[in-house]
Amino acid sequence: MDHEDTAQRGLEADLRDAVRLEQFELHYQPQVRTSNGQVIGMEALIRWAHPARGLLSPAEFIPVAEKNGLIVPIAEWVLRTACAQNRAWQKAGLPHLKVAVNLSALQFRQTGFVGLVSRILHETGLEPSFLDLEVTKSLVAGTPESMMTRFNELRALGIMLSIDDFGTGYSTFGHFMNFPLDQLKIDRAFVQGLPDNVAAAATARAIVSMGSSLGVRVMALGVENRYQADFLKSIWCEYAQGFFYSKPLPADAFLAWAKKPMPDATAATYDESRKSRLAA
Ligand code: C2E
Ligand code: MG
C-alpha cells in the first residue's frame, strides 16, 4: 500500500469520527440584491473542524464522503443545521432570508429523500419558501428520467430549486427542459472575466436574458470587485454573491454583518462604507 492510500484511509477513519462527533460547522455567505446591496439570503458552506489539522474546506473531504457514502449523514446534518439556523435568525428579528444548501447527488438518490426534507422543515419550523436547494448540472444530467419527478416533488413542497455554477460543463439546455427551475446561478468562471472579456460578458448577458424569458431568478457567483458588481447591475442581473460583498462567515459573524443598518442605498460607496465600518 502506498503513502497516498494510507493517507486516504486515515482521512476516511477521521471522517467517520467526525460524523459521530459532529465536528462540522456551517459558514454562511451573504447573497445580495445588486441594485442596493441589500442582503436577501445566504449560502450554507460546510467546514470540518479537524482536531489536528484545523478547519478543512469542503474540497478536502466532500469528494471522499461522496465516494464512501458518509455524505448521506453529513448532508442530513447540513440541511437540518442550515434550516434550524435560518429559523433562529428569523425568530431573532432578522429579515426573512433564504438559505441555500448544496444538494449532494448521493443524498438526492436516497429513498425517502423528499420525505426527509419535508420532515426537517417541519421539525425546524422553517417555511419551505426560505430554503433554496442548489442542484449541480451533473446531478441534473445524471438523473434518470424516472427520477426527475423527484425534483417536482421537492418543488411541490414549496422550496426553491437553483442550478449551481450555470454556463459551464454539462449546461446543455436539453437537460433542463424537464427541470422545475426557480433560479440560475452564473458560474464564477464567467464573472471573473467581467467586464472586459467579451465572451464572458456575452454569456452573462445571455443567461440574464434567458432567466428573464423563463421567468426565473438569476444570481451571479464569485463577484470579487466593484467593476464586476457594476457591470452585473448594468445588465440587470438582480442577485449576486462573492467576496466583494462578503466571504463566507461563521454564524455569529453573519448575524453581525446582516444586522448592520443599511446605509443610503443610493450611495455609490455603499460597500466601501460597510467595509470601513467593519474594519473600524
Ligand atoms: P459552490 O457551491 O460553488 O460554493 C461556492 C464556493 O465559492 C465556496 O467555496 C465559496 O467560498 C467560494 N466563493 C464564494 N465567493 C467567492 C469569490 O468571490 N471568489 C472566489 N474565488 N471564491 C468564492 P467552499 O466553501 O470552499 O465550497 C466549495 C464547494 O464545496 C462548493 O462550491 C460546493 O460544491 C461544495 N460544498 C460546500 N458545502 C457543501 C455542503 O454542505 N454539501 C455539499 N454536498 N457540498 C458542499
Ligand atoms: Mg453552491
- The 3-class secondary structure across the chain, one letter per residue, is CCHHHHHHHHHHHHHHHHHHHCCEEEEEEEEEECCCCCEEEEEEEEEEEECCCEEECHHHCHHHHHHHCCHHHHHHHHHHHHHHHHHHHHHCCCCCCEEEEECCHHHHHCCCHHHHHHHHHHHHCCCHHHEEEEECHHHHHHCCHHHCHHHHHHHHCCCEEEEEEECCCCCCHHHHCCCCCCEEEECHHHHHCCCCCHHHHHHHHHHHHHHHHHCCEEEECCCCCHHHHHHHHHCCCCEEECCCCCCCEEHHHHHHHHHCCCCCCCCCCHHHHHHHHHHC
- The whole-number average pLDDT for the span 187-197 is 95
What is the structure's pLDDT at 157? 97
Residue 269 has pLDDT above 90, yes or no: no
Give the N- to C-terminal CA distance of the chain in Å, as an integer: 53
What is the structure's pLDDT at 152? 95
30 lines ligand 1 (CB under 6 A): no
What is the structure's pLDDT at 1? 55
What is the structure's pLDDT at 199? 94
Residue 21 has pLDDT above 50, yes or no: yes
What is the structure's pLDDT at 164? 93
pLDDT (tens digit, 9 = 90+) per residue, 252-263?
A: 999 999 988 765
What is the rounded CA–CA span in Å between residue 165 and residue 148?
Answer: 20
45 lines ligand 1 (CB under 6 A): yes
The C-alpha cell at 207 is 443567461
- The whole-number average pLDDT for the span 21-33 is 97
- Least confident stretch, 71-75, 168-172, 202-206, 217-221: 168-172
Residues of the chain with pLDDT > 90, as a percent, come to 78
Mean pLDDT computed over every residue of the chain: 90
List Cβ neighbours of 236 (8 Å cut-off, separation of 6 or more).
208, 212
The C-alpha cell at 56 is 478543512
From the candidate CATH numbers 3.10.105.10, 3.20.20.450, 3.90.1660.10, 3.40.50.300, the one assigned to the domain spanning 3-256: 3.20.20.450
- The whole-number average pLDDT for the span 211-223 is 96
Q: Are 101 and 133 in contact (CB under 8 A)?
A: yes
What is the structure's pLDDT at 280? 42
pLDDT (tens digit, 9 = 90+) per residue, 149-187?
A: 999 999 999 999 999 989 877 656 777 778 999 999 999
What is the structure's pLDDT at 51? 92
What is the structure's pLDDT at 172? 65
pTM of the model: 0.92
- The whole-number average pLDDT for the span 198-211 is 95
Nearest to 134 by CA among 82, 91, 61, 198: 82
- The whole-number average pLDDT for the span 125-146 is 92
Cα 173 to the chain's mean position, in Å? 21
41 lines ligand 1 (CB under 6 A): no
Q: Are 190 and 169 in contact (CB under 8 A)?
A: no
CA of 162 to the centre of ligand 1 (A): 15
Ligand 1 test: best mutation among 23, 43, 62, 120, most atoms within 8 Å of CB? 62
248 lines ligand 1 (CB under 6 A): yes
What is the structure's pLDDT at 141? 86
